[in-house]
Amino acid sequence: MSKELELKYGCNPNQKPSRIYMNNGSDLPVTVLNGRPGYINFLDAFNSWQLVTELKAATGLPSAASFKHVSPAGAAVATELSDTLKKIYFVDDLELSPIASAYAKARGADRMSSYGDWVALSDTCDKETALLLKREVSDGIIAPDYTDEALEILKSKRRGTYNVVKMDTGYVPEKIERKQVFGITFEQGRNDLKIDEEMLQNIVTDNKEMPESAKRDLIISLITLKYTQSNSVCYAKDGQAIGVGAGQQSRIHCTRLAGNKADIWYLRQCPKVLALPFRDDIRRPDRDNTIDVYISDDYEDVLADGIWQQFFTEKPEALTREEKKQWLSTQTGVSLGSDAFFPFGDNIERAKRSGVQYIAQPGGSIRDDNVIETCNKYGIAMSFTGIRLFHH
C-alpha cells in the first residue's frame, strides 16, 4: 500500500494534477495489482465496493456490482441461474462459481450500460469470474483478493493494462466525510445507515403480504439506490437489480427509465428473441446492440435494405407491439425501491406495467393517500421506510 497515488488526470484530460490520498497521512486502503486506474475508476471502485459489502452483509450471499459513471448499471447476489438467464447473459458455456454467478447477473441486467464497466466483488475473485470477465469489455475490478489463476487471467486482459485493485477489508472510513466544490469544502456525516428487513415493517397498504424473496429483492434495490446518483428508482427480481433509473430530476422519469430497462431485461427472455438467428461471427456487444434494436419499435427501419444480413443468417420476423405487450403482461413478482417518496400515483401506474408487486419507499408526500390508493387498486404491497437515500 502507498500513502498516495498520482493519477493521469481528473474527470477530464485537462484537469491536472490529480491524485488520491488520505487526509490523515495514513496509507491508502487499496493496492493496485495491475494497470493504472484513473480518477473516475476510483470513484466507481469505492462506491461499488461499499455497495457489494453491504449487500453481502445484508443477505449473507456473495455479491457483485457493475458500475458506470458513479452509478450501478446492475447489482446482484449469488443465486442459481436459470438456463434462460444463462443464455441471455452469454454465460451458458461457462462454469459459474457463486461469485461468478453474482457478477453474471449484475452485468446481465443492463448489458448495454455495463459495456466498459467497473466491477466490484464482495468475495475473492476466482478463476471462473476472471474467465467471464476476460471476454467482456470492462475497465477494471475491485475485490478483497484474487486467486493466483484469476490474477494471471486478468493481467492478460486489455494487452496487460486491465485495472486490478485489491481492497483492504479491515479499512473503516472516518465518520465525517468531506468534498470540495468550487473551492468550498462540504462536510457531512457518512451515510452508514444499515438497510435490512427492519426497514420494511411499516406496510401501509391493504395487502401486507411480503414473501422472503420480495424482502430480499427490496433490500437489494434499497442498497443499490444508496449508491446511485439521485433521483433514482430500482426494480429488482430474483436477487438482482433489473432496471436502475439514475440521476433524473423527476421521480416519474426515474420510474419510466428504470421500468423501460426492466422491460428490456424481460423481453430478452421472450422465446422469439432467444431464437434470433445470429451469425456465428457476431461479437457479444454487437449482439446486445442488435437485440436492443430488435426489441425497439424501430426494427424494420434500422434493419431494412439488407442491413440485417450483417447480423443474421436470415431476416427474423419483427416482434410486434402486440407480442411485446402480451409477453410483458406475464412479468410478475417484481420489487421496486425508490430513494425518495413518490409524489403521485402515476409512478405506481407505470411500475405496475413492469410487473411490480412490492414497493419500498420513504413515504412523507402530501399525496401519500393517493399513492397508497393506487397500490390498493392493484393489490401491491408497499412499505414506508421513513428513510431517504439521496446520493450525490
- Give the active site residues: 68-69, 231, 392
Label the pairing between strands 163-167 and 30-34. antiparallel
Distance CA 109, CA 104 (A): 9
Q: How far apart are CA 135 and CA 128, in angstroms?
A: 12
Q: For residues 78 and 106, what is the distance between their CA atoms, to the nearest angstrom?
A: 10
| CA–CA separation, 227 and 71 (whole Å) | 7
Which phi and psi (to 5°) does residue 163 adopt?
-80, 120
Sign (positive/negative) of CA torsion 134, 137, 139, 141? Answer: negative
CA 36/CA 313 separation, integer angstroms: 41
Altogether, the residues listed in the chain come to a count of 392
Residue 52 contacts residue 121 (beta carbons within 8 Å): yes
Backbone angle region of 363, left / alpha / beta, with phi > 0 → left and psi within -120 to 50 → alpha: left
Cell of 362: 420513504
Given phi > 0 = left and psi -120 to 50 = alpha, else beta, which region is 343?
Answer: alpha
CB count, 10 Å around CB of 47? Answer: 21
Contact 129, 121 (CB under 8 A): yes
Contact of 169 with 344, CB cutoff 8 Å: no
DSSP for 318-343? P--HHHHHHHHTT---EEEEESS---
How is residue 29 written as a grid cell? 486502503
Strands in 381-384's sheet, in edge-to-edge order, are 30-34, 163-167, 138-143, 117-121, 63-68, 71-77, 240-246, 232-237, 334-338, 356-361, 381-384
